[in-house]
Amino acid sequence: MTKYAYFHNEIVPIEQAKVSIMTNTFNYGTGCFGGIRGYWNEERQQLYVFRILDHYRRFLDSARVLLAQLDYTPASLAQITLDLLAKEGWTQNCYIRPIAYKAEESIAVKLHDLKDDVTIFSQPVGNYLPIQGISVGTSSWRRVDDTAIPARGKIIGSYANSALIKSEAQLNGYDDAIVLNQDGHISEGSAANFMMIRNGVLVTPPTSSNILEGITRRTIIELVQNEMGLPVQEREIDRSEAYLADEAFYCGTGAQVSPISSIDHRPIGTGKVGPLVTELQALYFRVVKGQEEKYMHWLTPVAQKVTA
């Protein structure tokens, strides 16, 4: 369904966006990526991209960790993405995937003095996780540590860790997993940040718990503080404390707001999606679709398709 990609500095038909098997990042995972959502507003017949500049700021930060030399700014990457989406002409929700990679066809295991490049494609998307309540189990895997592969950089190679976690969880009958860091505290899900509500406080692991610094996490913290009046604590969470949450959920670009109904077979709260997460999820969906005037600054409209 995808027709175009940004590849080698231009928008080309997707069939032309191909790399060699000798590409360094294909061999070693030495690249980084982003994941951004476009939301289609049916009423206005308009595609909006959510927090595009914030996503590209983090993308370039990840690239810095990998010593990538890139001639892009968040604004230039955003413009390329908007041009790509205008050409693609989606009239449905979509997912945008930028990748920065070591383009050199070399088997050198290193980061420096290698040619870097950026590619971007998009595709239609639905819900990555169910949004009506998922069951999760604590993973037997641990989250990659900042001393091994920094989780705050969205580094391609570290997603082997996420894939081990996700498959173990699903093959064991769960929808996803809670992943502990090397200290035994909760880090996050396989590809989403963890949050819980306990005694009227929203609690989420701090950025030092080997989490990805989620854009959705920041969004939720702001919405919860401003619109729901709940205090927020960023602090370490023990596995057993999560069992005692009144409500819990994952958040992320893919996951959106995905309520957790049980952890390790212990029902969270009543085992049904709780009132605060229900309210927050509805608010989040209004914000990303452009139905909340106050948060329109987070959305960038894609120009209508220009047929030359």
Ligand X SMILES: Cc1ncc(COP(=O)(O)O)c(C=O)c1O
Pair 205, 185: CB distance under 8 Å: yes
Q: Give the nearer residue to ligand X in terms of CB position, either 85 or 165.
A: 165
Question: To the nearest whole angstrom, how small is the minimum distance from the Cβ of residue 212 to ligand X?
Answer: 4
CB of 166 to ligand X, least distance (A): 10
**Is residue 253 near ligand X by the rule CB under 6 A?**
yes
For residues 25 to 54, the per-residue mask of contacts with ligand X, x marking binding by CB under 6 A and - elsewhere, is ----------x-------------------
- Other CB atoms within 10 A of residue 213 CB: 15
Q: In the window 202-231, what residues touch ligand X (CB under 6 A)?
A: 212, 214-217
Q: Identify the CA nearest to 93 among candidates 125, 63, 45.
A: 125
State the DSSP string of 109-167.
--STTS-EEEEEEEEE---SS-SS-EEEEEEEEEPPPTTTS-TTS-BGGGHHHHHHHHH
Which one of residues 98, 252, 269, 274 is an interface residue with ligand X (CB under 6 A)?
252
Measured over the CA atoms of residue 168, residue 173, residue 175 and residue 180, the dihedral's sign is negative
Residue in the block written with tokens 């952890």: 263
Q: How far apart are the first and last CA of the chain?
A: 21
Binding mask 174-193 for ligand X (x = CB under 6 A): --------------x--xxx
Query: At its nearest, how many Å lie between ligand X and the CB of residue 31?
Result: 14
The least distance separating ligand X from the CB of residue 270, rounded to whole angstroms, comes to 27
Footprint on this chain of ligand X (rule: CB under 6 A): 35, 162, 188, 191-193, 212, 214-217, 252-254
